[in-house]
A and B are shown apart, each in its own frame.
Chain A
Amino acid sequence: MTISQLRKQLTAGETTPAKILEGLAGEITARDSKTGAYLSHDLESALAEAAGADLGLPLGGIPIGIKDNMNVLGQPCTCGSKFLENFISPYDATVIKKLRAAGAIPFGRLNQDEFAMGSSTENSALQTTRNPHDHDRIPGGSSGGSAAAVADGTAIATLGSDTGGSIRQPASHCGVVGLKPSYGRVSRYGLVAFASSLDQIGPITRSVEDAALILQAIAGFDPADSTSLDVPVPDYLSGLNDGVKGLKLGVPKEYFGEGIDPGVRRNVEASIQNLAAQGAEIVEISLPHTEHAVATYYVIAPAEASSNLSRFDGIRYGHRASSPADILDLYKKSREEGFGAEVKRRIILGTYVLSSGYYDAYYGRAQKVRTLIRRDFENAFQKVDAILSPVAPTPARRLGASAADPLQEYLSDIFTIAANLAGIPGISIPCGTVDWDGGKNLPTGLQILAPHLGEAKMLQIAKAAEA
């Protein structure tokens, strides 16, 4: 059931927040042992909050699941890592404060790739999450738990975080809606940082309208985040049903080349035709630096990660190695024992590209290519209102399929990464299913990209594409 449907039932007195929470807890007990989306949930504290829920608020009495890298006072925040296995948050992230102010109840902690590094949720150090459509497959990553829970019916809606596609790609693989806002639109305060110039928090939902409802609640200026934008938040719901008649929608030729599964291409093209039939003008465009997006990302993101993760030293919180020889040994052993392979790979890569003698060749150059990628979008948005593309080249692959080859996994993010480098918003909406690699009826996703702060029009197009 969607948030909108539940809101009607709540205001009509047909259900209560407590009944909704107990229902979800029952669904988790019944099915989550197979899907593994939840790392933990605290029904008792959620019920205590539900007792005081104000049903007159926009999200009054609605439980929202939270990716395990956002701080909720008194709840665990493991980031899918052994390093933070026993960490309890001493404060609420700004998005949590905003959800509470809109009447929502944060409920449940959802599995993810460790410190949001990965495209499959296989890099969680704590448990395996499976795709609810096919338990032998990945849910996508890094917000795999958040997407799988919504698809599995064990959550009504969730928050994820997106650094290179980590909301849109798992939403696509699980057949739900995932929205990455413009950089600066939603506060990052209280999100455990991975790559600070790329990270954004956004909703994963069952409908475009629900995504708009949650974005409305969490968007806005936050003085606690120095990168937060001090600009008014528009009404994301009022124009939702305005359709696409007269809008120009760009289709980048670089997003339909080799490597894209024919079934994915067919479904995305059918969605584009659907929008054309509703009156949109479809225009072929070019984003010439697309092929360099992954390389640029895998210099910039690990560089920022190596810096951000230096705070995990075993001193103030998290894992500490026992019996270290000295303080340096404590740092090195705590990090060796606490971090998983993908996190270590990225710390080493990031340290390398920032190190003396290599900084200009790697990091400095990647920042300049980032400018070129950003200009591609600026040029495209001179001609079109939004851009349409696949979310991922293939549907969800089998668990373990790319375990030994991280580069192959990195390349699967080719269609989502550029939006993070440019800071523009993107949304993934379900667009049919395909039979692929022995799997049946695997979800595929349509991606809609919009200019910076263009979420309202992006949601309007997404609503039309959803129909």
Chain B
Amino acid sequence: MSHSHIDVRYVANLARLELSDAEVAEFQPQLEAILGHVEALSKLDVSGIDPTAHANEIFGRMREDVPHESLSQAAMLQNAPDQAQGQIRVPKVVTDA
């Protein structure tokens, strides 16, 4: 954690997020200021400290395998931005060889 440089456009691409040039210019100094603040954590000695991922230590709990009614097809499709023949329509995913 020795530097707070962030390649905003590169990271946004990892997150599947397009950004305008104006947004990149706006976010760059803001995110570097936030990461600069976070640098303070590097000064703490955390050797031998276990990480806390969750406030409650509940792991691997399974609910009872009881059959129950699921949402209907109509309910599933009611918010779909594009649909046809009872299915959600998307752009072509598989390209020609």
Contact = CB atoms under 8 A, between A and B. Distances in A.
Interface of A: 86-88, 90-91, 183-184, 197-198, 223-224, 226-227, 229, 289, 291-292, 294-296, 298-299, 306, 310, 313-320, 324, 326-328, 330-333, 335-336, 339, 341, 344-345, 347-352, 355, 361-362, 364-372, 374, 405-407, 410, 420-423, 452
B-side binding surface: helix, strand, loop or mixed? loop
A329 to B, nearest CB: 8
18 contacts: A87-B79, A90-B78, A316-B76, A320-B82, A326-B91, A331-B16, A336-B19, A339-B17, A341-B26, A347-B12, A348-B31, A352-B35, A355-B14, A365-B42, A368-B52, A369-B44, A407-B37, A421-B52
A295 B41 contact: yes
A344 B27 contact: yes
A105 B75 CA distance: 22
B52 A306 contact: no
Interface in B29-83: 30-31, 33-35, 37-38, 40-42, 44, 46, 49-56, 58, 61, 63-64, 71, 75-76, 78-82
A90 B40 contact: no
B46 A369 contact: yes
Contacts of A335: 15-18
Contacts of A336: 17-20
B16 A332 contact: yes
Nearest to A337: B18
B75 A90 contact: yes
Given A320-B81, A335-B16, A406-B34, A90 B52 contact: no
A90 B41 contact: no
A299 B41 contact: yes
A306 B17 CA distance: 11
A229 B47 CA distance: 31
Contacts of A318: 79, 81
A314 B81 CA distance: 7
A331 B12 CA distance: 12
A345 B30 contact: yes
Contacts of B56: 183-184, 227, 229, 423
B91 A298 contact: no
B6 interface: yes
A345 B90 contact: no
Interface centre among B16, B44, B50, B61 (most CB of A within 10 A): B16
Interface centre among A197, A314, A316 (most CB of B within 10 A): A316
Q: Which 4 A-B pairs have the closest CB atoms?
A: A423-B55, A367-B51, A320-B81, A317-B79
Contacts of B42: 361, 365
A331 to B, nearest CB: 4
Given A298-B34, A299-B41, A345-B30, A330 B91 contact: yes
Given A317-B81, A410-B34, 12 more contacts: A91-B75, A184-B55, A184-B56, A298-B38, A316-B80, A344-B23, A348-B17, A348-B27, A351-B11, A362-B41, A365-B44, A365-B46
Contacts of A333: 18
Given A344-B17, A347-B15, A371-B49, A299 B30 contact: no
Given A326-B91, A364-B51, A306 B38 contact: no
Given A184-B58, A314-B81, A330-B90, A348 B11 contact: yes
A292 B44 contact: yes
Contacts of B61: 226
A324 B49 CA distance: 48
A407 B30 contact: yes
Contacts of B88: 315-316
